[in-house]
Amino acid sequence: MDDLEILLPECGFSTLYKNIKNQPSKFECIICKTHRIDKEKCLSMPRNKYNMKKREVELELINLEKSEDKLDTILEEPDLFVDKNFKEIEQILVERRENLKSKIDDYYDDLKKRIDREKKVRINRALSHSDLFDPYEVDFSEIRSTPDFDHKMNVLQDKLKGVKYRQNGINSMLEDYEIGKNFKLDVSKSVSVEDFFGRIQDGNLKVKFTEIFLPFKTENDVKFFLKDRILTASSNDPIIRLCFKTNGKCIRVFRGHKDLVNSLCVLSNETFASGSRDKTIRIWNILTGYCMKILKGHRSSISVLKLFHSGELASRSADGEIIVWNYRTSELKISQKVDPNTIYVLERTLKFTITSGPSDKVIKIQNIDSGNNLKILHGHTDVVTCLLILNVELLCTGSYDKTIRIWDLDNADCVRVLKGHKEKVRLMNKLKNDELVSVSMDGEIRIWNVFIGSCLSVVQNDFGPIMPLEISENNEIAIVPFDGNITFWKVEFEKSI
C-alpha cells in the first residue's frame, strides 16, 4: 500500500501513500506547499478511494495465493506436515520425562542413602550394648538361705531392678532393630500426575468471555433458534414466543397449553417441543405456529425435555416419571419412575442407553434393545450429575466429586480427568468446535479443550445454581439461574499473533 499513488486535491499533484499516511488530520501540501490538505477528504476522493480498495484486493489476492500454495504443499503429505508441527511439543514431553526421571532417580538415591545411614546408625547403636548379649540369671538360692524377711525383700527388690534395667536395655535394642517398620513415605494426595508433569495447552488461543445484554430476563426457559432468533417460555403466561434475539421483537406466538410452560426443546429447523404444567407435551411447527401433536402420558407437571442422539424425545415430570417418546408417531417407548428428589441422568444413541442413578458413582452403558449392561464405567467418587456425548468416540460425565471425566466409548477407558471446579459439577454443554462448557453449583463457568485436557477460560459468577445451560451455533451461552434472571455470554476464540 505504501507505494500506491495518491492524487492531491486542488493542486492536482500526486504523491505516494507512505508520504501522507502518518500526516496529521490537516497538513500542508507536501508537493506545492501552497495550500492545506484534509487527509480524510483526500483519501476519500473517488480516484484515491477506488485505487486504495483495488490495492487492498490485490494484496489480499497475494495473501490468498500464498495460503493456497501452502495448502497445496501440505496436502501433498498432510501427515508429515502435522507431525512436523507437533515435533516441538513431543520433544518437550520427552525432555520433560527424562528430566523428571533424572530428578526422581536423584531423589530416590538420596532417600536410599538416608535409609542406609539410618540402618548403620541403628545397628552400631544396638551392637554397643555388648553387656546385654550374655544371658541374665537370678540366683534365688541366696535369697532362700537368708532367714531375715526384710533382707529377703530388699534382695528381691534389687534383683527386680536389675531385671527391669536389662529389660529396658533389650527393649531399646529391639527398637533399634525394628525401627525400619515405623518409617513411611509421605505422599501428598493433592498433587496429581498432571500437576507434577505438566499440561498441554494451546498457547496461541485466547478465549474472550463477554457478557451481552439481550432483552430477555424472567423466563422459565429459553432456546436459541437459527442464528438470530430465540424461543422463550414465559414465567407469566402459558404462551411461547419466537423473537428476534437482538431487540426482543416478537415474530410469532404459540398458544395451546393450559398452564405455564417449563421446558422447551428444539427438534429441527422447523419443529420444537414444549413441556407444561398442564402435564402435556406439544410438538409445534415453528414456521406456521400450529401445534402438530399432543403427547399425553404424564400424571404431573413436566419439568425437563431432552432430545437424545437417537432422535427420541425424553421427558421428566415433577413426580419423577421419565418417558421416552417417538415424537414423530406419538409412541410412548419407555416409561420408568425414579425418586423426584434425586438425580438420574439418561442418554440414548442408536446403539446404547447410558444411565447413572441417584446413588450411583458409575455409568452404565446398556444395549438399547435388551437393556443388558455392556460396560460399566468406574472412576467417579460421588454421584454423577450430567452426561454429554461429545462425538461418536467420547463421553463426558460430570459429578458431585467436582471432576469431569472423559471416556472412550469403544473400550470404556477413562482417557482424561478434568479438575478445577471448587464445587460440584452440575451442567455441561458443548460449543460448535467441541469445546466443553461446564457449570458448577457455585455458578462458575469453565471452558475446556477436552482433547488436551486444558481449561481455556474461567468465569466466576455470584448467582449460584444454574438451570439450564443453552448454547447457540454462534457460541452464545444462555444461563438461567434459579431466580429466572437470564444472563447471556458471547464466547470468542482469538488467535494471538
- Band of pLDDT at residue 497, cut at 50, 70 and 90: very low
Q: What is the DSSP letter of 8?
A: P
- Extract the C-alpha cell encoding 150: 526384710
Per-domain residue ranges of the chain: 5-74
The b/e string for 74-97 (b: 16+ C-beta within 10 A; e otherwise) is eeeeeeeeeeeeeeeeeeeeeeee
* Dist CA 133 CA 491 (whole Å): 79
Most confident residue range from 26-40, 163-177, 194-208, 345-359: 26-40
Q: How far is CA 65 from CA 56, 70, 274, in A?
A: 14, 9, 51
Q: Degrees (nearest 5) of the Cα angle 382, 433, 193?
A: 45
pLDDT for res 484: 60
Express each pLDDT in 373-419 by its tens digit: 888 899 999 999 888 888 778 899 999 999 999 998 888 899 889 99
At residue 81, the 3 state secondary structure works out as helix
Query: Which residues, in sequence order, are CB contacts of 131 under 8 Å at separation 6+?
Result: 169
Beta carbons of 317 and 305 less than 8 angstroms apart? no
**Are 385 and 346 in contact, with CB atoms under 8 Å apart?**
no
List the one residue out of 471, 473, 439 whose CA is nearest residue 458: 439
- Entry pTM: 0.62
- pLDDT of 50 above 70: yes
Of 248 and 437, more confident: 437
For residue 226, the model assigns a pLDDT of 83
Amino acid at 402: K
- Integer angstrom CA distances of residue 100 from 105, 112, 191: 8, 18, 15
What percent of the chain has a predicted confidence (pLDDT) above 90?
Answer: 31
Cβ–Cβ < 8 Å for 13, 31: yes
d(CA 2, CA 59): 12
Mark out the alpha helices in 179-289 (DSSP H runs). Answer: 193-197
Do residues 322 and 346 touch, judged by C-beta distance below 8 A?
yes
Name the pLDDT band for 302 (thresholds 50, 70, 90). Answer: very high
Determine the Cα–Cα distance for residues 342 and 404; give it in Å rounded to an integer: 20
Q: What is the pLDDT of residue 391?
A: 79
Confidence category of residue 190, pLDDT binned at 50, 70, 90 = low
The whole-number average pLDDT for the span 480-487 is: 67
Euclidean distance between CA atoms 456 and 202, whole angstroms: 9
Phi, psi angle pair for 83, to nearest 5°: -60, -40
Distance CA 39, CA 20 (A): 8
Say which residue, 441 or 469, is predicted with more confidence.
Answer: 441
How much of the chain, in percent, has pLDDT values that exceed 70?
89
Instruction: Please tell me the distance from the alpha carbon of residue 264 to that of residue 241, in angstroms, as a whole number.
Output: 11
> What is the average pLDDT across 2-25?
90
According to the model, what pLDDT value does residue 496 have? Answer: 47
**Burial tier of 63 (Cβ tally within 10 Å: 0-12, 13-18, 19+):** exposed
Alpha-carbon gap, residue 389 to 139, rounded angstroms:
85
Q: pLDDT tens across 140-189, in order?
A: 776 777 777 888 788 888 888 888 887 887 777 777 777 777 777 777 66
Q: In the structure, what pLDDT confidence band is assigned to residue 52 with cuts at 50, 70 and 90? A: very high
pLDDT (average), residues 9-17: 91
Contacts of residue 390, Cβ cutoff 8 Å, sequence gap at least 6 = 396, 406, 430, 434, 436, 450
Mean pLDDT of the chain: 84
Calpha distance 126→489 (Å, rounded): 72
**How confident is the model at residue 323, as a pLDDT?**
92
* Interval 94-115 mean pLDDT: 86
